[in-house]
């Protein structure tokens, strides 16, 4: 079993083991509702009105109701809804039909996060890092970032995360004859815009990156022109489809379901940025603590891979500015765990993680910089092994805390936390609330096999055991060169 397959199966087993039992909010349900309509009568409308969340859908001139989000997430969830529809019996009750649709849809997150782990592995091997180091970094990305709790969700943010990083990887691996990769990158970017229209703002970092690839590879003007046109066709077709959908669902080519909400950037930037990055309630760094290890070694990554670094920094800066000023990023608005709006920035923020692992590896193998003292029969002596371990312990502690933070986020949902936090004048951090709720009633953990009991518990434990075995396999699997087909892709790219 090669490393990419081991990484995918490892991520799949872990995410299936912590799979949830229901959705977090109406933001997830509406695209699933629309997906069921798509396979039922070929339209992306909501089959029934939700009187408690009327602000999340728009009534079209035809009288049908459409979710305010882009149609892309509904299209992505359609295959899962189709699988559920295949197993639905006409005699099933409405509740049973809903359970089958929900069960099928909950495979979306595990598949998306597991595939993203493989994409990260491929990206790092193309950047020149060893397969074993890249595999370790990919597993840590899945295990210790917000990707893990969001694998339990149906949010379009997760789809955008995968699509945008897939486009980034496709640009990285461009060769002089790889026109289809340019088309694939354009298709992924266009699909992310169909899921969440605001991702069009990330056109700048991707344009900067593809220019760096062309410049470093000394592509001829003819090759650049051909790849530009190939990459431009999917966005043009998607833009045309979105305009037609807007006219059909919202009454105008240039209207969206968000209406005036998309212009509510009322939060002061500094205050908003500090909240989305460092607050105990929703701080990105707090809830994905292992990103610190990547950021600390970003300078080394920048020197080795300046084009990737500049593109990622611009991507993260745009994300921070947009969501740091958007009204929905203010305290108390979002129910979800951690910083959902910055989820697409996660794989970009972790790009320098292999540099950290490489430094730790070199520190462990090299002569120790510090020593511990031990007492033996011969008197006091230095213990170099513990000296080396002392250099690794802080990083291991950060990774451990970050992993536990993600696991805690899989134990409960935001509604229960909000009810629990209502007893305090100032709400405690979410991970504290989730953990406290779990400790009060461990059998109430919102994980499928805990709630099901019986044989399901054995299935959950088996998945966790498989996760450990596949993680070990990913780290020791025989190396498979992923850059042999295009050796120029392994060279550092100058911006």
What pLDDT, on the 0 to 100 scale, is given for residue 380? 45
Of the candidates 134, 189, 135, the one whose C-alpha atom is nearest the C-alpha of residue 159 is 189
For the CA atoms of 47, 51, 53, 56, what is the dihedral angle to 10 degrees?
A: 50
* Other Cβ atoms closer than 10 A to 260: 6
Start-to-end CA distance of the chain, whole Å, equals 37
Question: 156 with 72: CB under 8 angstroms?
Answer: yes
Judge whether 101 and 29 are in contact, CB under 8 Å.
Answer: no
**Are residues 108 and 154 in contact, defined by beta-carbon separation less than 8 angstroms?**
yes
Q: Are 225 and 286 in contact (CB under 8 A)?
A: no
Which residues, other chains included, contact 281 with Cβ-Cβ below 8 Å and sequence gap of 6+? Answer: 275, 331, 332, 427, 429, 430
pLDDT in tens, 301-343: 999 999 999 999 999 999 999 999 887 777 777 778 989 999 9
pLDDT at 491: 43
Which sequence spans correspond to the domains of the chain?
Answer: 21-105, 108-356+479-490
- The 8 Å CB, 24+ separation contacts for 330-333 are 330/267, 330/272, 330/275, 331/275, 331/279, 331/281, 331/282, 332/281
What are 201-254's pLDDT values in tens digits? 999 999 999 999 999 888 999 999 999 999 999 999 999 999 999 998 888 888
Instruction: Say how far apart CA 114 and CA 475 lie, in whole Å.
Output: 16
Runs of H (alpha helix) within 145-268: 147-150, 156-172, 179-195, 203-217, 221-250
C-alpha pair distances (Å), 285 with each of 6, 135, 206: 28, 23, 24
pLDDT of 209: 95
3-state secondary structure of 378: coil
What's residue 93's pLDDT?
A: 87
pTM of the model: 0.91
Distance from C-alpha of 165 to C-alpha of 180, rounded to nearest angstrom: 17
The structure tokens listed for 15 are 């995410």
DSSP string for 101-153 = HHHHHTTHHHHHHHHHHHHHHHHHHHTT--HHHHHHHHHHHHHHSTHHHHTT-
Tokens 């897939």 correspond to: 166
Q: Half-sphere exposure of 178 toward its Cβ, with a 13 Å CA cutoff?
A: 18
d(CA 405, CA 148): 10
Q: How far apart are CA 434 and CA 430, in angstroms?
A: 6
Tell me the C-alpha distance between 82 and 107, whole Å.
Answer: 13
Task: Identify the segments of the chain with pLDDT beneath 50.
Answer: 367, 369-373, 376, 378-382, 480-492, 494-495
Torsion angle of alpha carbons 318, 141, 464, 82, nearest 10°?
40
pLDDT given for residue 364 in this prediction: 77
Identify whether the C-beta of residue 159 lies closer than 8 Å to the C-beta of residue 309. Answer: no
């Amino acid at each position: 079993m090669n490393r990419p397959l081991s990484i995918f199966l490892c991520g799949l087993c872990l995410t299936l083991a912590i799979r949830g039992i229901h959705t977090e909010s109406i933001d997830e349900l509406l695209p699933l509702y629309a997906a069921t309509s798509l396979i039922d009568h070929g339209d992306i409308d909501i089959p029934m009105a939700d009187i408690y969340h009327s602000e999340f859908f728009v009534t079209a001139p035809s009288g049908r109701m459409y979710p305010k989000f882009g149609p892309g997430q509904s299209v992505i969830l359609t295959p899962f809804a189709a699988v559920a529809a295949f197993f639905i019996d006409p005699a099933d009750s409405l509740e049973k039909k809903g359970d089958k649709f929900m069960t099928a849809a909950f495979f979306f997150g595990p598949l998306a996060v597991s595939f993203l782990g493989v994409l990260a592995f491929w990206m790092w091997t193309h950047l020149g890092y060893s397969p074993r180091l890249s595999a370790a970094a990919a597993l840590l990305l899945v295990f210790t970032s917000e990707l893990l709790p969001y694998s339990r969700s149906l949010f379009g943010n997760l789809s955008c995360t995968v699509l945008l990083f897939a486009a980034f990887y496709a640009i990285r691996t461009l060769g002089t004859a790889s026109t289809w990769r340019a088309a694939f990158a354009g298709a992924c970017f266009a699909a992310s815009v169909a899921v969440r229209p605001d991702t069009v703002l990330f056109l700048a970092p991707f344009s900067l990156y593809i220019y760096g690839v062309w410049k470093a590879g000394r592509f001829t003007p003819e090759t650049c022109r051909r790849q530009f046109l190939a990459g431009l066709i999917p966005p043009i077709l998607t833009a045309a489809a979105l305009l037609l959908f807007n006219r059909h669902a919202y009454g105008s080519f240039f209207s969206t379901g968000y209406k005036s909400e998309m212009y509510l950037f009322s939060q002061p930037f500094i205050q908003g940025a500090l909240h989305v990055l460092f607050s105990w309630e929703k701080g990105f760094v707090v809830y994905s603590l292992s990103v610190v290890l990547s950021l600390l070694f970003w300078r080394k990554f920048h020197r080795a891979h300046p084009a990737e670094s500049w593109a990622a920094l611009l991507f993260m800066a745009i994300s921070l500015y947009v969501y740091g000023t958007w009204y929905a990023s203010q305290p108390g608005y979002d129910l979800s765990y951690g910083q959902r709006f910055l989820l697409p920035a996660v794989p970009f923020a972790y790009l320098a993680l292999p540099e950290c692992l490489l430094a730790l590896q070199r520190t462990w193998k090299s002569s120790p910089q510090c020593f511990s003292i031990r007492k033996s029969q011969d008197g006091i002596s230095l213990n170099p092994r513990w000296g080396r371990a002392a250099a690794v312990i802080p990083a291991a502690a950060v990774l451990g805390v970050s992993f536990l933070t993600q696991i805690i986020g899989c134990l409960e949902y935001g509604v229960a936390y909000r009810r629990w936090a209502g007893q305090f004048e100032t709400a405690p951090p979410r991970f504290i609330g989730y953990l406290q709720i779990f400790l009060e009633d461990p059998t109430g953990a919102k994980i499928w096999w805990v709630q099901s009991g019986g044989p399901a518990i054995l299935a959950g434990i088996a998945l966790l055991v498989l996760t450990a075995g596949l993680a070990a396999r990913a780290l020791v699997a025989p190396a498979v060169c992923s850059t042999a087909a295009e050796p120029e892709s392994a060279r550092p790219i100058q911006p």
